[in-house]
Amino acid sequence: MKKPALMMAIVFAFYALFGNGLSVWAGCKSDCLKQYESEVESCRSNNDDPEDSDSMRTCIDKALDQYNSCVDQCEDENETV
């Protein structure tokens, strides 16, 4: 088998084995990011008074924790694909 044909076979095999799982993981992670961005925007709009800075920090920390949990869940689900 010539080198270009061998490379194409390897790329095809890699995609067949892992391609779908990678795209599912990327989509899941993208969903987590969208949810995080929405939560942060909500934190900002609900705590727009400078006196609410502690509350906003707590809210954003909670959103970050949820994001990290979501990404962890994506990774766990990707391992089973």
CA 58 and chain centroid, separation: 22
- Please calculate the CA angle 74-43-63 and round it to the nearest 5 degrees: 20
Radius of gyration of the chain (CA): 20
The ranges assigned to domains in the chain are 25-80
In this prediction, residue 42 carries a pLDDT of 96
- How do the pLDDT tens digits run along the chain, 81 residues long? 456 666 666 655 555 545 555 555 578 999 999 999 999 999 999 988 888 899 999 999 999 999 999 999 998 887 765
